[in-house]
A and B are shown apart, each in its own frame.
Chain A
């Protein structure tokens, strides 16, 4: 594409976005912080949203798609093969900068909300949200498919059409379930509003998952003060052993 063509494309895009002016969206997630303590075994983040102001004269019906992304990480996917009768890890593929948690919730089936092209560009759907915009993954790659599959089984990836419910024509609600294995860190909630297959509004929000109390203390000492931590665990073991031999002493 020449520079001139690129310029015209920009102008066209600006004109289009001005004509289809975005709807104003308000969104709130609660709680904004999930605390992982020793009694934690899963949690739920509830999202409420409303179209605050519609610039359309006639009342519109909307569709909503929510993409929740956990902290990004690099993940190796390994495949086992058989060597002299024993199953051994052989080939592997590393996926860089992929979310550790991915929840896609929508008010309807994704393909009913918008075209495949729009969904891909907006990063809606498990495969579309996995990589940064511009990275075009081979969607038939068995390593990628199995990576997504395993993450789904672990409850870390989830795609649910109908997960967003409208309370009125403009207000909606969704729940993001988190399991006990939920990764620690910052989560991004990306909310997109559609009308007749076109995106008409967007809103961002965040929440975080943090370890608190004993859990935080243990993780922090294990990683930052590992010598002290190791010595503490060893002395704990010696003490427990000594205590048992005293309590149960029979001579």
Chain B
């Protein structure tokens, strides 16, 4: 059954969209990420313009991360002060991201920026995660104890001033790296149409040494807030949020996420991370291939309005 999307101006099979929402939701629930890095490229592949895809996926991620944030909240796994500091950076980052997005769209380099950011972000994060999870699997095989946290191992991050105490996470760290991480996630999220969960979680663990108990819940709260703001800003500046598209994706996404989360409970964490790393790396390399291979048509059009 075809459904005409009012802002995207194309008719797309509603079951296909719903199934995509389910599938991406399943992956997002399984790995505890938003899944925007899969959804946005999928929509572009289906013929939806990158602008509409990025703007509409932001609202889809708002829904799926809000449902995640709520269940973590009930388990008291959210560090509220941490979320607020991250958010103060995240909001500024989102605003800068939407601004960059609008400017590059006007000069015709938006697709390039999206492609390059995907390539760099996904291959870097995917590659690092791959190495890390292969090591973890080897350690597990050789029965060595894993070393998740090295107490006393301070980096330059811990030498910065304006230190704050985050009781819930039991860490004592400067305001700046926390704010900075929030800013980067907000910026990247708005430009790439992703929540940035796959970036945020490793950053919080490796830079701030946040314990895994609070990291996912706090990340979900931040993602919810930045993506809600990104949706609002995209709606105000570019008028590209397609409510019909967003609704179909949202409903599929939140249902899929529940099943994904249940599947993940029966899998060892290292193997889960390895799978996610491979997935992220594959999407990143796909974007890289697209940038360096000769395009089918060198020419492209964009209507400016009458």
Contacts and interface: CB of A to CB of B under 8 A. Distances in A.
Interface of A: 36-42, 71-81, 85-89, 92, 94, 97, 100, 142-143, 146-147, 149-151, 180-181, 211, 214-216, 218-219, 222-223, 226-227, 229-234, 236-238, 240-245, 248-249, 251
Contact of A88 (B6, B63, B112): B112
A181 B235 contact: no
A238 B305 CA distance: 34
Nearest to A98: B303
A177 B169 CA distance: 62
B93 to A, nearest CB: 18
Given A78-B301, A230-B231, 14 more contacts: A40-B4, A80-B299, A80-B300, A86-B116, A88-B109, A234-B62, A234-B228, A236-B243, A241-B63, A241-B254, A242-B70, A245-B66, A245-B70, A248-B258
Q: Tell me if B's interface is mostly helix, strand, loop or mixed.
A: helix
A218 B292 CA distance: 38
A74 B306 contact: yes
Contact of B228 (A87, A147, A222, A237): A237
A75 B4 contact: no
Contact of A78 (B70, B242, B302): B302
A92 B106 CA distance: 13
Nearest to A87: B295
B10 interface: yes
Given A39-B4, A222-B7, A237-B250, A97 B301 contact: no
B109 A237 contact: no
Nearest to A241: B66
B250 A89 contact: no
* 3 nearest A-B pairs in the assembled complex, by CB-CB distance: A230-B235, A241-B66, A244-B254
B9 A181 contact: yes
A41 B13 CA distance: 10
B115 to A, nearest CB: 8
A88 B114 CA distance: 12
Contact of B3 (A39, A87, A218): A39
B117 interface: no
A249 B71 CA distance: 8
B303 to A, nearest CB: 5
A231 to B, nearest CB: 7
B190 to A, nearest CB: 14
Contacts of A150: 297, 299-301
A211 B295 CA distance: 34
Interface residues of B, number: 62
Nearest to B47: A181
Interface in B272-296: 291-295
B218 interface: no
A231 B299 contact: no
Contact of A85 (B2, B68, B112, B292): B292
B192 interface: no
Given A230-B236, A240-B63, A215 B4 contact: yes
B88 interface: no
Nearest to A40: B4
B7 A79 contact: no
Interface in B59-87: 59-60, 62-71, 74
A244 B7 CA distance: 26
B232 interface: yes
Contact of A222 (B2, B241, B303): B241
A237 B239 contact: no
A122 to B, nearest CB: 24
B118 to A, nearest CB: 13
Given A76-B108, A147-B301, A233-B59, A40 B292 contact: no
Most chain B CB atoms below 10 A, which of A42, A241, A243: A241
B258 A237 contact: no
A41 B11 contact: yes
